[in-house]
Structure 1
Amino acid sequence: MRWIPGAGALALALMCHTAGATVKDATASGFTVENTEVVPVGADVAWKALVHDVDRWWPKDHSWWGTESTLSIDARAGGCFCENAGARQAQHMAVVFVDPGKTLRMTGGLGPLQGMGLSGALEFRLAPAEGGGTRITMFYRAGGYTPDDLSKFAPVVDKVQAQQLRGLADFLRKPAK
């Protein structure tokens, strides 16, 4: 599915399979979702993949221009989680907090939420996992004005974000070449 402005794109995302996804809370004006994956690498390796290899692990069917575009994260305050396809460009989120190897926080509306005038705070939290490796938590709290009941969008966004985080986890689980 390509991101298309409007709620219809969110409804199509319901078809995504998800494991370990959690809607923390949801009201008519906003929601919080959280997804966690454990990967068999240290936080430094996970961080490098998160910020430097986003174009290799982010599902291209959850970008504006699919395989035609390149995704990047400029991990510095004021940096951009951006997508570029020549003259077509999108700032998905703005980087607002960076603690390398621990926390990356960005603000903005992902996908159709951006076109709906909604915004949120997305955090990637990295911590040592019990038994080794790194626990990566993707936490997103979104809200704003819309005539729609945002609580209906929470399960859809949660499933899509679980897929996105699973992309990072699968990338980190592949043997190094």
Structure 2
Amino acid sequence: MKTTLTITLASLFLMFTASSKAEVASSSEHGFQIKLEQTFDGSAQEGYDRFVNHISGWWLNDHTWFGDAGKLSLNATAGGCFCEIDGDRQAQHMQITYVDPNKALRLVGGLGPLQSLGMSGTMTITFADNLLSLDYIVGGYPTMDFTRLAPIVDGVLSQQLASFGGYQQ
């Protein structure tokens, strides 16, 4: 199982082509921090709207549990869900803990395979005119080397944000 997960994550990393500014800010055997910036055309309000209300339009199908970004939703309220629902199959990707409309969102949880590894994090997303900034701090019980996992997560998130940056409503 660990080998399959590692190969899958490595494959995702190799597929990514980044147009965003990405950085593994720090990593250790206990966790990591990723900082990303992505430009987009529009105001902070338009970026926030794109992120929240059009997530199924820019999120990549390959990075969903059920293969269809059209099944994604993000309920931008405290306690809301970044969820994927396909009939009886359902996944909570993250939970929203902070909302400052048109300015910032904070979500907690582990994206994708991070959940099955017992890892969780806090993702803070801020919006400015023409710029989205993302800070994701992840920790958990170290069942695998976080220092090797951090660049893979960075690559996948960079790919997602590059899609966000290029999305036209």
Coordinate RMSD, CA, aligned: 1.5
Alpha-carbon distance in 1 for matches of 2:144, 2:131: 34
Determine whether 1:144 maps to 2:143.
no
1:4-61 deviation digits (Å, cap 9, x = unpaired): x833321221212224211100101100111111222011111111111101110110
Structure 1-normalised TM-score?
Answer: 0.87
- Residues of 2 paired with 1:170 and 1:159: CA distance? 17
Q: How far apart, CA to CA, are the structure 2 residues paired with 1:116 and 1:69?
A: 26
Residues 32, 68 of structure 1: CA spacing in aligned structure 2 closer, same or farther, 3 A cutoff? Answer: closer
Aligned-partner Cα distance in 1 for 2:47–2:95: 20
Task: Write the deviation string for residues 106-154 of structure 1: whole angstroms up to 9, x where unpaired.
Answer: 00000000111100011211123xxxxx210121110110221111111
For 1:146 and 1:25, how far apart are their aligned partners in 2? 15
Equivalent residue for 1:167, pick from 145, 163, 166 = 163
**CA 99–6 in structure 1, closer or farther in 2 if over 3 Å, else same:** same
Moved more, 111-120 or 18-27: 18-27
Measured in 1, the distance between the counterparts of 2:7 and 2:107 equals 25
Unaligned runs of 5+ in 1: 129-133
SS where residue 76 of structure 1 aligns? coil
Structure 2: unaligned runs, 5 residues or longer: none
Distance 2:69 2:43 in 1: 32
**Partner deviation per Cα, 1:59-113 (whole Å, 9 max, x = no partner):** 1100111128510000000000000111100000000000011111100000000
Normalised TM-score (structure 2): 0.91
Give the conservation status (yes or no) of the 8 Å contact 1:105–1:121. Answer: yes
Q: 1:81, 1:92 within 8 Å by CA — same for their partners in 2?
A: yes
When structure 1 is superposed on structure 2, of 31-40 and 102-111 the one drifting more is 31-40
> Which aligned pairs between 1:84-99 and structure 2 lie closer than 5 A?
84-99=85-100
For the Cα contact (< 8 Å) 2:61–2:69, is it kept in 1? no
Q: Note if contact 1:124-1:138 (Cα within 8 Å) is conserved in structure 2.
A: yes
Alignment: residue pair count? 164
Percent of aligned pairs with the same residue?
A: 37
Alignment of 1:101-116 (within 5 A): 101-116=102-117
The secondary structure found in structure 2 opposite 1:75 is: coil
